[in-house]
Amino acid sequence: MTKLAIMGAMEEEIEPLLSHFENVNIVEFANNKYYEVSYNGLDIVIAYSKIGKVFASLTAATMIEKFGCDTLLFSGVAGGINPKLQIGDLIIADKLCQHDLDITAFGHPNGFVPGGKVFVETTKNLREVAIKVANENNIKVIEGTIATGDQFVHSTERKNFIETTFKADALEMEGASVAVVCDALNVPFFILRAISDSADMDAGFDFDEFLKSSAKNSADYLIKIVKELIK
């Protein structure tokens, strides 16, 4: 690893990350801001993509192709599907899928297009480092499947469909698209999410209240992982 990308979707997801660094250089490119920092000799680029799969794909590809990042870590929040996940709990994606990708009319399974695959697996050794860090710091984290789609899911019916179809533990709006980009470009990557809501709650129920605390949980854990990776 010579240059690390750290990514979130929303400003609230990278604010707690940026608070760990001084001497931040801001580069504006493609209608976005990229924050360049140095940490214990490692060059890091931090950015929030904006919400959704298209913006996440653009940002991930930019961090790899324009900024030369060779490893990508994603930190953010997600809606819980697995009943074991409570608000604030952490989940590492072992694989991700796009729950709203649907050409089933042509006989393909949900989440699949020709030339692609339903599930993209994350990088095993990065997950192993994250689990080691969690164990050493008494942090509770699970590994599981994360489903991505371009809508904020707040209906029980939709949540049940995603759970049944993909056996997903959590859902969000960026991870699988980042996974597709990193997988295609052979860049090791890792997706970490903290639960900010359960997916069948009323959409306005508690999202803003829990967004910041959950984002901080994710970011604080991610910084510990970065320290371990630098060792």
Residue 204 has pLDDT above 60, yes or no: no
Q: What is the pLDDT of residue 192?
A: 96
Residue 198 has pLDDT above 80, yes or no: no
Residue 160 has pLDDT above 60, yes or no: yes
Q: What is the pLDDT of residue 32?
A: 98
Residue 210 has pLDDT above 90, yes or no: no
CA distance 43 to 33: 16
User: Nearest-CA neighbor of 46 among 62, 54, 218, 30?
Assistant: 62
User: Nearest-CA neighbor of 53 among 74, 82, 27?
Assistant: 74
Residue 37 has pLDDT above 70, yes or no: yes
Burial (Cβ within 10 Å: 0-12, 13-18, ≥19) of residue 51:
middle
Identify the weakest region by mean pLDDT among 10-24, 54-68, 167-181, 194-208: 194-208
Q: What is the pLDDT of residue 81?
A: 94
- Give the tokens for residue 200: 């069948």
Residue type, 3: K
Instruction: Tell me the pTM.
Output: 0.94
Residue type, 222: L
- Give the tokens for residue 85: 């996940």
User: Nearest-CA neighbor of 190 among 120, 122, 119, 134?
Assistant: 122
Q: Which residues are catalytic?
A: 13, 197
